[in-house]
Structure 1
Amino acid sequence: MSTKNNKSEQDNENNTPYRSKPFTAITVLLGGTIVLVLGLVISITFGAANINMKTVWTGVFQFDPELTSHQIIQELRLPRALAAALVGAFLAVSGAIMQGMTRNPLASPSIMGVTAGSAFMIAIAFAFFPGTSYVGLMMWSFVGAGLGAGLVFMIGSLSKSGLTPVKLALAGAAVTALLQSISSAIAIHFHVAQDITFWYAGGVAGARWFSVQLMIPVAIVGITLAIIISRSITVLSLGEDVAKGLGQRTRYVKIIGTVVVLLLTGAAVSVAGTVGFIGLVIPHITRFLVGVDYRWIIPCAAVLGAVLLVLADLGARMVNPPYETPVGAITALIGVPFFLYLARREGRGL
């Protein structure tokens, strides 16, 4: 009898939609890394100045400061490509954590007001504290990320029926519109519109080595913490009651997860502005590929997010050369239809 029950439990476990796919996850990690490396090489090669692969190789590994092409590679294209990869990874991991903690398929930094809050506080810094250092802008961005998220959850919680996914998305849209409107008013009144426009257009054209150097410690801390709590997020994604029943300290997991989201999103916005929808699309694609075990979702989402933004930045340079299209417009072309599909699907549950 015991053997039969054990077999039944094992069958149920094998049939559960929450099982992971480690072989697929490893394939995604390896394949995604290869595509990312190729994307970085192409991104460094492509630009207003034609530079061949051999020159790229020597410019990266045998740098000669006397050569203009090597200076372009080292000072402009290489930091830009690396910044795009880091920003894409940051936003994808942030979106995955938000969706796992809230069990909200519409959660992402751009939709939940986090990126708008960061950009709003950067506008405050430009207007009232001119000359703020890059580190200072990053600190303002962290504060703004917390402000945007706090406003969205506060407004969403006013509903009598609770925080449904679509209501949170509507609250996020309202807060985003409000903060963007105030930011625009500040930009016009204090004559900093040109600076603010960059943050709302989104892009990594202005990224330099200093930006990358600041992002690397954030990447180490943020993604390491995300991986540490990944197992707990997997349990939390099954439901808070289930998590508590399994002895999960949900409050601590949510606090650490929120800190990770604010760190990663704040750093991403301080470098690239409000690049939207990566944190929405990539976690869904990752879960479809590797299952819902966040021990695999977080590293896979980081790689796929990096790939998407590197390719989007490359596409932004190819649409209308020699001019550049804002990379946020490229990601929106993918993200908006995906968001409408999810909103329509979730709206049936209202």
Structure 2
Amino acid sequence: MGKGRTARTRRASTTVALLAATVTAALAAGCTGTHNPVDDGRGQLRTPVPTPSKSAEKTADTGSVLAVKIDNVRAARPQTGLRAADVVYAEQVEGGLSRLMAVYATQFPKSIGPVRSARESDLELLRQYDDPTLAFSGAQHKLLPLIDKAPLRAVPPEDASDAYFRGTDKAAPHNLYLHPSKLMPSAPGADALTNGFRFGAAPSGGTKETSRTVRYPSASFTFNWSARSHRWLVSMDGTPTVTTDGKRVAPATVVVQYVKVRTSRFHDVLGNNTPYTETVGSGTAQVLRGGRAYDVDWKRDNAKDGTEFTTKDGSPVNFAKGQVWVVFAKAS
């Protein structure tokens, strides 16, 4: 954690200098410019307001992950760019449905999406990454001030309209996509994955496991082990998950993490409460790798820490090299 704090201090100093230069330039230019309305992802047009802190914040820093909120209802599938993510988190949202957060560090696909709205739980989840960039489209209006105050770079369409575009393959709001290279010049690399995950040889023991299903009230995830590809083939709501390039989504490791899911203070437009997924604390999990399941414990003492996964005797648990899916399931 000392290394992370040092990196954050250096970045904070750089950001302050960049902010001062940007504000000075803006004042000298009289802050002139034209800002066209853009779709905020909720069917409403919003006019971007010039905010120097948004444009200058990461100009000299590419050492943080890119996290993208991805739509996951049937109308949004197949998704784009999901296979390139290093980590995919699955969480329950309103109405018992699911939504994904894809985290990119080692590579950027050409485009990602469909991009959808953020949730309060995302802010806690992302604290384990060092100054992450969050791409999302809209949020409950009372949540927006919390997003603005969070230690991350929040970039909705109204703050980077050139990075987002509407596709023609699906109906709105399920057709908003992101060009990641428009937000960050390059992928930061594996060192940006400050989530506590370890990779290496499998732990001893475990039980044979070839299929696992996690159910939410109105959604499900199934992972079938493929000995041929040495990957877990993903299906969502009973349908094989492929991306728009026609290829199957197949992580090397799947973590079913049992967490507390409680009601939050936020609701959607239909009045459904937004669940809050608590990712700080401790509990149990199951790690699926190599066609076997391992019962483990997880611990994350505070939001700035990564998540530790250990066997019952306290030994760290390694994941298989490749994409990791973390599915948050409600603890009994």
TM-score w.r.t. the length of structure 1 is 0.21
Query: Comparing both structures, which one devotes a greater share of its residues to helix?
Result: 1
Structure number with the bigger relative contact order (C-alpha 8 A, sep ≥ 6) is 1
TM-score w.r.t. the length of structure 2 is 0.22
Query: Comparing both structures, which one devotes a greater share of its residues to strand?
Result: 2
